[in-house]
Amino acid sequence: MKFCKKYEEYMQGQKEKKNLPGVGFKKLKKILKRCRRNHVVPSSSSSRMAFTQVIDQHNCPRGCPVCDGTFFPELLKEMEDVVGWFNENAQKLLELHLASGFSKCLTWFKGNTRKKDHLGLIQEGKDLVNYALINAVAIRKILKKYDKIHESRQGQLFKTQVQKMRIEILQSPWLCELMAFHINLKESQKGSKTAVASPTPVHALFDGCSLTFNDGKPLLSCELSDSVKVDIDLTCSICLDTVFDPISLTCGHIYCYMCACSAASVNVIDGLKTAELTEKCPLCREDGVYKGAVHLDELNILLKRSCRENWEERRKTERAERLQQAKEYWDYQCRSFTGI
């Protein structure tokens, strides 16, 4: 089955359950076909060689008014909708998983009955991952088609551009959280006596998702399909240790929370929301990346389980440092208030 048909069937099936945004794969292909037709000149009044030369002249490697005025703006809007929907729903799912008993009861009372049990969480996570994967593949394929028709690299350049704009779905911090969520569920199911009789094994959420250590360096990896693999380095590039209390900046780079506060020139009491917009990511040097940072709570739970000794040692060290920062902060506030 061709991917376009497979994608259309998938999105049609999902829209019967809920109204999902998606990539207009068929519509975008029609735009490219229209562009190709506009580039073809009838050969009745010319030789075959002249016809070939005309096509070569119209392969528009640097830009095409037919495509660039419609294709890229349309794809950009659809990507924004897809990533926005994925981030919002992944966040809701993970917040529910980490919520207290009262918060869960309140959510269920409001009518969210699908997530009542363990299997409901697994299925919801699986649906989100499949949605992210098939849309990532759709975007990659349509951009490849653009480059093939135009004999250019504009499609790849567009992909680089949207990565900088932080609307690349495989760069979403919530995908990282879903990967950690999967492993945490699998571990909790192993320790549960009732999990043995469960009809739906947790590994249905991901295949080949794991946390590995190479020379002590942690790597969270997941093979989402034969052609899509996600590898996330969990070494903080500031302290060069495994991330502790990890946080993902809006550029996608992951740091320890206290290291990020230090890089942003703020203390842990005020937090990253008070960081100046001019403060830059230590790795990519992009500015304005701190205020929208995401706390990776599922990843923190996973690292706590997987690196118990190191995690406990870091907890003691950081607790002492946070207490010291809190003391200095409140001493300064008192001196400012009293005028001393």
Quick: pLDDT tens for 218-236: 888 887 665 677 888 999 9
Residue 110 confidence class, pLDDT cut points 50, 70, 90: low
Neighbours of 49 (CB within 10 A): 8
Share of the chain above pLDDT 70, in %: 72
Q: Does residue 16 surpass a pLDDT of 60?
A: yes
User: What pLDDT is recorded for position 281?
Assistant: 92
User: What pLDDT is recorded for position 196?
Assistant: 42
User: What pLDDT is recorded for position 101?
Assistant: 56
Cα 303 to Cα 189, 231, 308, 325: the distances in Å are 17, 16, 8, 25
Could you read off the pLDDT of 254-272 as tens digits, one per residue?
Answer: 999 999 999 999 888 888 8
User: What pLDDT is recorded for position 247?
Assistant: 94
**Contact by Cβ (8 Å): 281, 251:** yes
**Contact by Cβ (8 Å): 185, 205:** yes
User: What pLDDT is recorded for position 199?
Assistant: 40
Q: Does residue 41 surpass a pLDDT of 50?
A: no
> Which burial class, exposed, middle or buried, applies to 242 when counting CB atoms under 10 A from its CB (0-12, 13-18, 19+)?
buried
Q: For the residues 15-38, what does the mean pLDDT come to? A: 75
Q: For the residues 30-40, what does the mean pLDDT come to? A: 66
**Structure-block tokens of residue 132:** 């992210």
Residue type, 252: G
Residue 253: closest CA among 277, 272, 230, 235 = 235
CA–CA separation, 284 and 249 (whole Å): 11
User: What pLDDT is recorded for position 7?
Assistant: 83
User: What pLDDT is recorded for position 80?
Assistant: 87
Residue 24 confidence class, pLDDT cut points 50, 70, 90: confident
User: What pLDDT is recorded for position 46?
Assistant: 45
For the chain, the C-alpha Rg in angstroms (whole number) is 25
User: What pLDDT is recorded for position 107?
Assistant: 54
Q: Does residue 192 surpass a pLDDT of 50?
A: yes
Q: What are phi and psi of 224, to 5 degrees?
A: -75, -25
